[in-house]
Copies of this chain bind each other. A is one copy, B any other.
């Protein structure tokens, strides 16, 4: 645990123990960290999983790489340093949501291994679930839902992951989710089943 900038702060204990919170809400929080190229399907899958969880009355929320940049991280760009700070902040927020007992999905390219490992390191053991949304770049480029690959190939977007900036694939992700040739529902069901297997969500 790194030290904050000021020494004149102390910890506040919450009145509620983690186990009490889990029992009160009948829920266990975790971070489903989806990582993959632009267009790989991260957000679409994350939102479908959220929907499945809400249908079960489970507290779930998606932190979205694109959306959050209009709020918390609107001061950040796409340089390596800003990408790192982007992921750091999201990781801290995801950790808070998980601590609050939400199944928290995050949908960010998060191209750097070190940044993802940093988030893993701050999360309580077993609560960080790295999901490699493994879609070949050719497939992502074919989908190109926002026309970004086209722009990137034309040199209009600097530092575009997979084109002019690196993507470091996870080495030991909890889940490798192959999306090519599969439906969103199939992929979402695979994640939901994982959550049930691990006891984050009750079956049925």
Chain A residues near B (Cβ < 8 Å)? 1-6, 8-16, 20-21, 24-26, 43, 47-48, 50-51, 54-55, 57, 59, 61-64, 66-67, 69-78, 89, 92-93, 95-97, 99-102, 107, 122, 146, 148, 151, 157
Contacts and interface: CB of A to CB of B under 8 A. Distances in A.
A14 B78 contact: no
Contacts of A26: 57
Nearest to A69: B4
Given A24-B54, A25-B57, A66-B9, A14 B93 contact: no
A96 B61 contact: yes
B95 A47 contact: no
Contacts of A157: 8
B69 A6 contact: yes
Given A66-B11, A97-B100, A54 B21 contact: yes
Contacts of A71: 92, 95-96, 122
B12 A67 contact: yes
Q: Max chain B CB contacts within 10 Å: which of A3, A64, A92, A95?
A: A92
A146 to B, nearest CB: 5
Nearest to A59: B59
A102 to B, nearest CB: 7
A72 B25 CA distance: 25
B10 A66 contact: yes
A76 to B, nearest CB: 6
Contact of A96 (B63, B66, B95): B63
A78 to B, nearest CB: 6
Contacts of A95: 71
Contact of A5 (B10, B77, B89): B77
A157 B7 CA distance: 10
A47 B5 contact: no
A14 to B, nearest CB: 6
Nearest to A93: B93
